[in-house]
Structure 1
Amino acid sequence: MSSNYRKTLLSTVVALSLFAGSAPAEAGKYNMSYVFHGSPGKYIDYVETTRGSLDVISPSYFKLNPDGSLQLSPSLDPGFIQEMHKRNIRVVPYLSNDWNRDLGILALQNKEHLADQLAEAIHTYQLDGINIDLENIPKLYREDFTALVQLLRARLPADKEVSVAVAANPYGSDQGWLGLYDYEALAEYSDHLMIMAYDEHYEGDLAPGSVASWRFIEKSIEFALSQVPADKIVLGFPFYGRLWKSDGTILGISVQNRMADELIKTYRGTVTLDPSSRSARATFTVLPTDPALTVNGRKLSPGDYELWYENEAAMKLKLELVGKYHLKGAGSWSLAQEDARTWDFFRLWLNGAAFPDSMGHWAHNEIADAYDHGWINGEAAGIFSPDGPLTRAQAVTVLSRIMMEGPEAPVSGAGGAAGDAALSGGSPSGIGFADVTPDHWAAGAIAWAYANGIVDGIADGSFAPDEPLTREQMTAMLARLLNYPPVSANTKRPYADVAPDRWSHAAIQTMSEYGVVDGYPDGTFRPEEPVTRAQMAVLMTRVFSDRE
């Protein structure tokens, strides 16, 4: 192991409290959300509710003047951009014609000038790219639309995102405004296409129904895949539903998901998961004596109502499509409309880590990322046990995977299947641990760690692979792995419960001094306390994300 690599690895874990806390995840499926609703002054609060789930935020900063030139929105806030960058969230505003066909046509007719203006604004305000969201423009301008995307790609640095919002097209139509989007050509000049897989039913629609049924979404994905590689497709999810009144006076008005529960509770509604669309359908009756709640500017008068929306169960089912088709990730329209519980599960399900016992856990993003990379599986179907102890064999296996170069290393879960002997490239028979037989599932990882001086046995010469790993054992492993120069013997004793003559004292003192590990607020380190599976997931994602 080279000293340069040790320094690189150290940089990823400095200031990491290995045994508590969390930070925004940096790996896993791409996850973005538009932000349009609410006050710009609250945009930071909206992002905070996602608890580190987002990679990109796409605010409504780019609009069009009456002549088709760029109009910067008054909501453009350099302070917000800086705050997002501090959180490692990229800011990629979207360009909108607000469904105005004539305005969109003028923009495309003056695409050279518009591309210059957009490139300048992105540079001036230190933005991270652009999402082009021009809609309701006829097929006649298909080549002009593609040319605008091509111009922007040419004018922006490679590290700036150029993405395109495209209409969902379940039937592969090239008529009307659906014909504007040449998926194949657009993908050539953009980082990805964001499929707006919603508004299957819309405001004014006479028949109530799902905003985004399962088949509507799946057929839209299948059409896109016939034109575009899977890793250039982002699937859009609606954070809203639509409401109908039986007398026809309300036809599909938009309802924010966050308001659905209030309507159902206030009006004693009944909710079912429609088996065909796999969307939530709620019915309720407003009585003359009931409070008149306001939905999208409309007060609900007495009568019978039908609400279609995406609740947690429906959204989980549809998030599975991202993994099924190996898509790049997910987008959502739009932030501040979602139910408050959405971020307890959204990124976890997006990454295929459907562990109910990790929902809302402080490390749920990192658990999802670790699972998505194949580093760690659940202890049983649907069970991750985030606060359960990590064994010594599991920890060594995790470290060996982190340090292996390239994707060729076996990726059975911590506590998973056999085959890990290949990690070391050799047999563990020379180690001399009586309790680690050659057919032990982690034999190869233990051999690798022993050969590299990262682990040794316990007092009786055994390894105790199935014993819980303690905090001091993990710290000692890290100290050997990083091989960082020890601190002076005169350095102040960091923890009241780690005596100078304790076997792990030097490792704990050194790793604490360099900020790799930390103690508790009461001044203790609690060296014999077990390390949890969630804590190891955090370590994995932070080390690996830096190497990527």
Structure 2
Amino acid sequence: MILILLLLFLSSCHTYKQSEQNQQGNPKSYQIDGAGKAVPERIVMGWNAFGTTDTYIEQNHVSPNLNVVSPRWLSLDSEHLITGEVDPAYVEWAHQSGKQVWAFLGNQFDPELTDKLLSDKNNHVKMAEKLEKVFVEHKIDGINVDFENIKMENKDDFVSFVRQLKKSFSPHGIIVSVDITRENPDPYWSGSYDRAELGKIADYIIMMGYDEDLGAGEKIGSVASLPWVEEGIQRLIKDVPPSKVILAVPFYMREWVTNLKTKKETRYDRNMLEVDEIIKDKGLKKKWDKNVKQNYVEFVENDEKHQIWLEDKESLQQRVELVNKYDLKGTAAWFIGQETPEIWPVFH
């Protein structure tokens, strides 16, 4: 009996795997992670944004390989510190479907608001306590902190806030994940992240592997060429263990339109469904761009040149292969509802 108890104790001290069936019947492997909570061995996360609970659930049902969902519920607020609503029905649906919920907390891309709240350390405790109460009450599995466009003087403040969140959430096994941009020269959108310190505190760091075109000064091109993404991963894992890194992938792209007479350039955000329609309507043929590792289409109409570097099954396969190559924790998609169904087997 003593031997049996000893073996049971030892086994409980190590990572374990269990098989669970979701509503689609797909097995999922879990392991005990840093927060002392069972999480998927390979995370396939998707953000829900700009919709209702019913919309989110409908979108997530089309995505059988998702095992973590992040509804865009919460944001900083100058008067109440935190504002937003949590929907228990969504949490219940997700758990019944074998998915974890990491609720999204954003800063509205507002550097002044962020400075006002984060520069006062007392607010860190108040916000963490407020969130702790809501998350425990509604059995939310984790938080996804998405603070972007931050002043450099708030660099340490942000680290302090995440540390306070971790302190408040850890006793409940609630996961803390933090979004960061792919490293770039911009101080507000990149330099204000202390990646190494955030990587020590948070359970997961999600690298937003997109918006290369904007980071380069709105230069015409892909939102995320593969070499640019890979270089970002290489830089990040110097500061953060790969096992803590999740690669965020785009479910969108940009249509660049150049007036051939004036040379004026205009960009339009497009999702996969919209671009599929453009390709069919114009009878376009995809061409493989070996430099960016993506398909590409272009056409000229009314003295305007249209260029699109495609996010599709082929481009996403390349990104998943980077996750495998560097042994990252998984992927996160911005955002669910923009994709075409055929891309999901890539994430299996």
Q: Give TM class, smaller chain.
A: 0.7 to 0.9
If you compute each CA radius of gyration, which structure gives the higher value, 1 or 2?
1
Q: Which residue of 2 aligns with 1:167?
A: 181
Provide the secondary structure at the position in 1 that maps to 2:320.
helix
Q: Which residue of 2 aligns with 1:380?
A: none
Q: Offset of 1:269 from its aligned partner?
A: 2.2
Unaligned runs of 5+ in 1: 6-11, 288-301, 348-548
Alpha-carbon distance in 2 for matches of 1:103, 1:161: 25
Q: Offset of 1:317 from its aligned partner?
A: 1.4
C-alpha contact (below 8 Å) 1:67/1:107 kept by paired residues? no
Q: Which residue of 2 aligns with 1:96?
A: 106
Q: Indicate how the Cα distance of structure 1 residues 250 and 91 shifts in structure 2: closer, same or farther if over 3 A, else same.
A: farther
Q: Offset of 1:72 from its aligned partner?
A: 1.2
C-alpha contact (below 8 Å) 1:202/1:252 kept by paired residues? no
1:224 paired with 2:236, answer yes
Q: Which residue of 1 aligns with 2:319?
A: 318
Alpha-carbon distance in 2 for matches of 1:317, 1:249: 32
In structure 2, what residue type is equivalent to 1:322?
V
Give the superposed CA RMSD: 2.6
1:351-370 matches, cutoff 5 A = none
Higher strand share: 2
Q: Offset of 1:268 from its aligned partner?
A: 2.1
Q: Which residue of 2 aligns with 1:86?
A: 96
Alpha-carbon distance in 2 for matches of 1:100, 1:13: 42
1:41-440 matches, cutoff 5 A = 41-51=54-64, 53-67=65-79, 69-73=81-85, 76-109=86-119, 110-156=123-169, 157=171, 159-169=173-183, 175-202=187-214, 206-247=218-259, 251-286=266-301, 303-347=304-348
Provide the secondary structure at the position in 2 that maps to 1:209.
coil
Q: Which residue of 1 aligns with 2:38?
A: none
Provide the secondary structure at the position in 2 that maps to 1:132.
strand
Alpha-carbon distance in 1 for matches of 2:106, 2:28: 29
Alpha-carbon distance in 1 for matches of 2:131, 2:279: 44
C-alpha contact (below 8 Å) 1:243/1:254 kept by paired residues? yes
C-alpha contact (below 8 Å) 2:78/2:117 kept by paired residues? no
C-alpha contact (below 8 Å) 1:237/1:331 kept by paired residues? yes
Matched residues, number: 315
Q: Indicate how the Cα distance of structure 1 residues 23 and 314 shifts in structure 2: closer, same or farther if over 3 A, else same.
A: closer
Provide the secondary structure at the position in 1 that maps to 2:214.
coil
Post-superposition Cα deviations, 1:22-43, rounded to whole Å, max 9, x if no partner, equal 2353354111111104443221
Q: Indicate how the Cα distance of structure 1 residues 249 and 257 shifts in structure 2: closer, same or farther if over 3 A, else same.
A: farther
Q: Indicate how the Cα distance of structure 1 residues 218 and 264 shifts in structure 2: closer, same or farther if over 3 A, else same.
A: same
Alpha-carbon distance in 2 for matches of 1:24, 1:101: 43
Alpha-carbon distance in 2 for matches of 1:43, 1:206: 31
Q: Offset of 1:204 from its aligned partner?
A: 11
Q: Percent identity?
A: 27
Provide the secondary structure at the position in 2 that maps to 1:25.
strand
Post-superposition Cα deviations, 1:184-213, rounded to whole Å, max 9, x if no partner, equal 111121111000010001399553201111
Alpha-carbon distance in 2 for matches of 1:164, 1:218: 19
C-alpha contact (below 8 Å) 2:316/2:346 kept by paired residues? no
Alpha-carbon distance in 1 for matches of 2:217, 2:300: 21
Q: Offset of 1:346 from its aligned partner?
A: 2.1
In structure 2, what residue type is equivalent to 1:275?
K
C-alpha contact (below 8 Å) 1:67/1:106 kept by paired residues? no
Q: Indicate how the Cα distance of structure 1 residues 276 and 108 shifts in structure 2: closer, same or farther if over 3 A, else same.
A: same
Q: Offset of 1:308 from its aligned partner?
A: 2.0
Alpha-carbon distance in 1 for matches of 2:224, 2:216: 16
Question: Structure 1 length normalisation: TM-score?
Answer: 0.54
Alpha-carbon distance in 2 for matches of 1:203, 1:219: 14
Alpha-carbon distance in 2 for matches of 1:326, 1:68: 40
Alpha-carbon distance in 2 for matches of 1:323, 1:106: 40
Q: Indicate how the Cα distance of structure 1 residues 241 and 63 shifts in structure 2: closer, same or farther if over 3 A, else same.
A: same
Provide the secondary structure at the position in 1 that maps to 2:140.
coil
Q: Indicate how the Cα distance of structure 1 residues 228 and 206 shifts in structure 2: closer, same or farther if over 3 A, else same.
A: closer
Alpha-carbon distance in 1 for matches of 2:138, 2:19: 31
Q: Offset of 1:96 from its aligned partner?
A: 0.8
Alpha-carbon distance in 2 for matches of 1:56, 1:193: 14
Alpha-carbon distance in 1 for matches of 2:224, 2:345: 21
Q: Offset of 1:98 from its aligned partner?
A: 2.3
Provide the secondary structure at the position in 2 that maps to 1:341.
helix
Question: Structure 2 length normalisation: TM-score?
Answer: 0.83
Alpha-carbon distance in 2 for matches of 1:98, 1:178: 16
